[in-house]
């Protein structure tokens, strides 16, 4: 993408990268900003907001567009569809005057040096005007059926796996912008930071605030008093209890949210991940917060431990369907078959991680997924096949009394509509296992 200062052109390059090249939105944003270093902070925020909003509602935008088109656009016009999506997002969900959203979008299409630009300009104009006329109907329908914001494959998949009622409750939360959660390095700082951050303490040591501007500019960031992490993502590492002075092996650790939590509570963390760039971010995060950990760049299958560890956290790579609120692009990067494929890898990772545990040791397996195939099913199969492994149920006491976050088997299971009145939370799953045998 060429250097430009027009936020809409940058959003176009981002939509193209995510939908056509399957680049995660965060990565596409980072690339776009590094190519346009002179972009004003305000425009950066607009690019982020416009592109995230587009993916949050893309199911509904595409379905409305499909109904407006007499016949589907040809494959060579994929780029026109992206522009219509950008225009429709502004018309339906952003505070942009309708005529400005239509005119700027049509203008960009006619300026584009792409095949059929002239022909498609008129078509895009007609469709966007149709979006303006249908605005009330589309938004009214979405209020009743928020699941229409999701792509059809995911709607069908969740209706089957979670049921219609949970699908609706989850879809309501996913259609709104999530709050920002920050986890405090020292929970005692809560009182001093509540006011400057205009936050509420939603869990011990976790403050929740309305997202505004750049995270880096918020009070306490530069001094390393906190890091941004959804409340749900901070829970698995708490399942080790008091870790002060203990060695904890953190497998699949980068970019380090859980490493930071464990290190801040006094653990001697060995953080293993195979991604060098993600480990660089982990190092930066540790340095900013003033914490230390031993960092190992390795595939976990190549990592061996001498006598075995007493505490192991395995945060396995997963479909990330629990984080759709913060990463709505995930629904367009994956398909149902990808979710099923991941389960085999997660099972093998758990086998390997458990082999690194010493008798009497505790292993926490977690994923930011809503899929049973990546969570409950993995643990059930593992416990069946390993008589030396026992589940150690999680208690509500460990979770500030939130018994609704615990499954009947005693595992942690948060859903996006938990704490809905305070803005919801990510979907996470964690099971705690103990290895029997002579210690």
Q: What is the distance between the alpha carbons of residues 369 and 8, in angstroms, rounded to a whole number?
A: 32
Name the minimum Å distance from CB 427 to ligand SAM.
13
Q: How far is CA 297 from CA 132, 224, 280, 347, in A?
A: 52, 24, 10, 21
Name the minimum Å distance from CB 227 to ligand SAM.
10
Position 347 contacts ligand SAM (CB under 6 A): no
Residue nearest to ligand SAM (CB): 252
| DSSP alpha helix (H) spans, 299-424 | 330-333, 336-355, 376-385
Position 258 contacts ligand SAM (CB under 6 A): yes
Nearer Cβ to ligand SAM, position 256 or 361? Answer: 256
DSSP per-residue codes, 38-65:
T--HHHHHHHHHHHHHHHHTHHHHHHHH
Sites for ligand SAM among residues 181-210 (CB under 6 A): none
Q: Taking CB under 6 A as the rule, which mask of x and - marks residues 140-169 in contact with ligand SAM?
A: ------------------------------
- As a dihedral over the C-alpha atoms of residue 7, residue 9, residue 10, residue 13, rounded to 10 degrees, the angle is 160
Name the minimum Å distance from CB 79 to ligand SAM.
32
Nearer Cβ to ligand SAM, position 255 or 423? Answer: 255
Nearer Cβ to ligand SAM, position 129 or 274? Answer: 274
CA-wise closest residue to 234 among 267, 205, 194, 273: 205
Nearer Cβ to ligand SAM, position 9 or 183? Answer: 183
Task: Specify the DSSP element, H or E, that contains 432.
Answer: strand 428-435
Q: Are 259 and 286 in contact (CB under 8 A)?
A: yes
Count of residues of this chain found to bind ligand SAM when the rule CB under 6 A is applied = 16
- Does 368 qualify as catalytic in the annotation? yes
Sites for ligand SAM among residues 269-308 (CB under 6 A): 273-275, 278, 299-301
Half-sphere exposure of 427 (CA within 13 A, CB side): 26
Position 230 contacts ligand SAM (CB under 6 A): no
Kindly list the residues in this chain that would bind ligand SAM in the complex (CB under 6 A).
Answer: 252-258, 273-275, 278, 299-301, 315, 317
Residues belonging to the active site: 368
């Amino acid at each position: 993408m060429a250097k430009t200062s027009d936020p809409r052109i940058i959003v176009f390059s981002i939509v193209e990268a995510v939908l056509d090249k399957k680049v995660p939105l965060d990565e596409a944003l980072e690339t776009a900003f590094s190519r346009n270093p002179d972009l004003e902070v305000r425009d950066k925020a607009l690019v982020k907001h416009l592109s995230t909003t587009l993916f949050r509602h893309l199911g509904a935008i595409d379905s409305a567009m499909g109904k407006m088109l007499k016949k589907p656009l040809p494959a060579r016009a994929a780029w026109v569809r992206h522009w219509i999506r950008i225009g429709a997002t502004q018309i339906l969900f952003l505070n942009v005057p309708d005529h400005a959203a239509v005119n700027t979008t049509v203008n960009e299409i006619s300026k584009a040096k792409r095949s059929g630009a002239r022909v498609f300009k008129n078509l895009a104009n007609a469709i966007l005007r149709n979006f303006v006329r249908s605005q009330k109907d589309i938004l009214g329908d979405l209020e009743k059926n928020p699941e229409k914001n999701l792509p059809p494959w995911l709607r069908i998949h969740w209706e089957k796996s979670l049921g219609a009622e949970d699908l609706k409750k989850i879809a309501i939360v996913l259609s709104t912008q999530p709050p920002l959660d920050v986890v405090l390095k020292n929970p005692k700082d809560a009182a001093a930071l509540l006011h400057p951050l205009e936050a509420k303490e939603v869990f011990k040591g976790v403050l929740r605030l309305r997202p505004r501007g750049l995270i880096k500019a918020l009070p306490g960031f530069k001094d390393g008093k906190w890091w941004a992490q959804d409340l749900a993502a901070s829970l698995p590492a708490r399942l080790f209890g008091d870790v002060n002075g203990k060695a904890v092996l953190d497998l699949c650790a980068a970019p380090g949210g859980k490493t930071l939590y464990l290190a801040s509570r006094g653990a001697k963390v060995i953080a293993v991940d195979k991604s060098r760039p993600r480990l660089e971010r982990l190092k930066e995060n540790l340095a900013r917060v003033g914490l230390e950990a031993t960092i190992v760049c390795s595939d976990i299958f190549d990592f061996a431990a001498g006598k075995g560890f007493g505490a192991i956290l395995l945060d396995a790579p997963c479909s990330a369907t629990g984080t759709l609120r913060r990463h709505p692009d995930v629904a367009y990067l994956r398909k149902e078959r990808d979710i099923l494929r991941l389960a085999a890898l997660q099972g093998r990772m758990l086998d390997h991680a458990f082999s690194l545990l010493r008798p009497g040791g505790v292993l926490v397996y977690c994923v930011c997924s809503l899929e049973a195939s990546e969570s409950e099913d993995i643990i059930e199969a593992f416990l069946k096949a390993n008589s030396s492994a026992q589940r150690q149920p999680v208690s509500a006491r460990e979770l500030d009394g939130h018994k609704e976050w615990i499954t009947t088997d005693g595992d942690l299971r948060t859903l996006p509509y938990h704490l809905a009145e305070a803005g919801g939370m990510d979907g996470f799953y964690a099971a705690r296992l103990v290895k029997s045998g002579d210690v």
